[in-house]
Amino acid sequence: MVDNLPYLFIALLAFTAFVRKVSQLWRPGRPEALPALCAALGALTLATLLFAPSIREFIDRTSQLPGFARWAANSFGIMTSCALQIMTMRFIHGAKPGVRSRQVVAVVTVVAMGLLLLPQRLPDGPEFVTEYATNPAVAVYFMLTTAYVLVVASDLAQLTFRYSRHTRMRYLRLGMQLVGWGAILAIAYAAYREATVIAGLMGEDLPGDEQVITQVLAVPGGVLTVLGASLATWGPGMLAPFQRMRQRRAVRRLRPMWQALTEVVPDVVLDTTGEFSKDPAAQLHRYLVEINDALLILAPYRLRDNDSRPAASRGEAERITAAQEARLLLGAIQRYRAGDIPANDETGTGGPVRSTDEEVQWFGLVADELTARRRRGQPTGPAAISRP
């Protein structure tokens, strides 16, 4: 019974993800890759259930057709690999030619596997590959199965890792990488199975237990595939509490800079009712908008800085740049409050285009410098630079 648990666990994960995804099939504007993803999750659910030794034994005994459950499990595994490959192709390239040919190859492979294995009527067992490796039909059956998995898993790993480097979507990037690592484990497992068959034909035995190798390579590969394929669905909800914690820390970190700017340019404040403070994401967004608006207003009052001190490391360079920015910002605040003539004719463009995470990191460094100046007793301008 213990041997069944890994397979049942993967089946539960895959079925849960399948139920969540299949409900989106009839929504307008669904992604092109969604049907293939649902097919992959459904096929993986059935494959892992049939790979469980007790279930496989029960089906063979009930159907009076030895080897049927193994063929069905491997067939659903082939369908899973094909669907994942098509999902990745549609996700990256859209309706790319070649999808139909891959479906035909998968169907032909499944039919050929059935014609090779089922007429043999061989009883199943934990060492099936090693025990019947000298049977030509069984040897061709496994060589065909593993060759298909090797080709498709190699293509899937290449596509997922290559595409993951070009997306800025966090959950999508991590999900693609997990699917890629699952494909790598599938490649290792298929290569071991191929070597086992070849060694059996030569009258040799490879070290290792088939059941153990399956649980070490195939089971973790299935887990990674399910988690990666469904990460975009459950990832945001599961990690939402940690995201809110990061957002609250970012709000506290940016508050000194926000206070310094909004005291001198109060017109940029969007909310005076405190409604935004109930949602850390909304409050962080508000801080970023108001800080950027204030910087645009203060841009003509900034002096040009020619300080180019060398930095020992990237972190040191960022700290020096943030210190320079804090000094220039405080000077601009003082000149604006004093009603001085603008120091330059710049109207401000908001600086380089940054993502939200990059803005939080950069403004956080400047806010840290403002707080550090206050703690060192250095002047911080008319605004009260303090961390509550």
Compute the average pLDDT of residues 240-256: 87
Compute the average pLDDT of residues 203-214: 72
**Which pLDDT score, from 0 to 100, does residue 264 have?**
86
- Both structure tokens of 359: 């803005």
**Which pLDDT score, from 0 to 100, does residue 305 have?**
58
Q: Yes or no: say if 204 and 250 are a contact pair by the CB < 8 Å rule.
A: no
Distance of CA 87 to CAs 46, 321, 361, Å? 18, 45, 35
Same domain, 184 and 273: no
383 domain residue, yes or no = no
What φ, ψ does residue 139 adopt, rounded to 5°?
-60, -45
Q: Yes or no: say if 193 and 142 are a contact pair by the CB < 8 Å rule.
A: yes
pLDDT for 308 beyond 70: no
**Which pLDDT score, from 0 to 100, does residue 371 have?**
80
**Could you give the number of structural domains in the chain?**
2
- pTM greater than 0.85: no
**Which pLDDT score, from 0 to 100, does residue 110 have?**
92
Distance of CA 7 to CAs 174, 196, 215, 229, 369, Å? 24, 22, 9, 17, 54
Same domain, 163 and 117: yes
Same domain, 235 and 369: no
**Which pLDDT score, from 0 to 100, does residue 352 have?**
59
**Which pLDDT score, from 0 to 100, does residue 121 have?**
86
- Both structure tokens of 174: 């991590």
Same domain, 284 and 216: no
pLDDT for 252 beyond 60: yes
pLDDT for 360 beyond 80: yes
**Which pLDDT score, from 0 to 100, does residue 35 have?**
87
Same domain, 114 and 211: yes
Closest CA to 72 of 40, 101, 48, 37: 48
> How far apart, in whole angstroms, are the C-alpha atoms of residue 101 and residue 85?
12
Of the listed ranges 186-200, 248-262, 283-297, the least confidently predicted one is 186-200
- Both structure tokens of 150: 């090797």
Q: At 375, is the pLDDT very low, low, confident or very high (cuts 50, 70, 90)? A: confident
> How far apart, in whole angstroms, are the C-alpha atoms of residue 177 and residue 164?
7
Of the two residues 22 and 341, the one the predictor is more confident about is 22
Same domain, 204 and 295: no
**Which pLDDT score, from 0 to 100, does residue 343 have?**
62
385 domain residue, yes or no = no
Q: Note the pLDDT tens digit of each residue in 80-98.
A: 888 888 888 877 766 556 7
Closest CA to 219 of 16, 15, 77: 77
Same domain, 318 and 224: no
Closest CA to 81 of 17, 157, 163, 164: 157
**Which pLDDT score, from 0 to 100, does residue 96 have?**
59
Same domain, 160 and 213: yes
Q: Yes or no: say if 208 and 192 are a contact pair by the CB < 8 Å rule.
A: yes
Same domain, 169 and 76: yes
> How far apart, in whole angstroms, are the C-alpha atoms of residue 301 and residue 331?
8
Q: Sign of dihedral through CA atoms 77, 96, 91, 191?
A: positive
Compute the average pLDDT of residues 182-208: 81
Q: At 109, is the pLDDT very low, low, confident or very high (cuts 50, 70, 90)? A: very high
- Domain of residue 306 covers 265-375
53-63 and 34-51 helices cross at what angle (nearest 10)?
80
Computed over every residue of the chain, the mean pLDDT equals: 80
* Long-range residue pairs from 19-23, CB within 8 A, at least 24 positions apart, any chain: 20/230, 20/233, 20/234, 21/230, 21/233
Closest CA to 80 of 113, 117, 106: 106
Same domain, 160 and 229: yes
Give the three-state DSSP class for 202.
Answer: coil
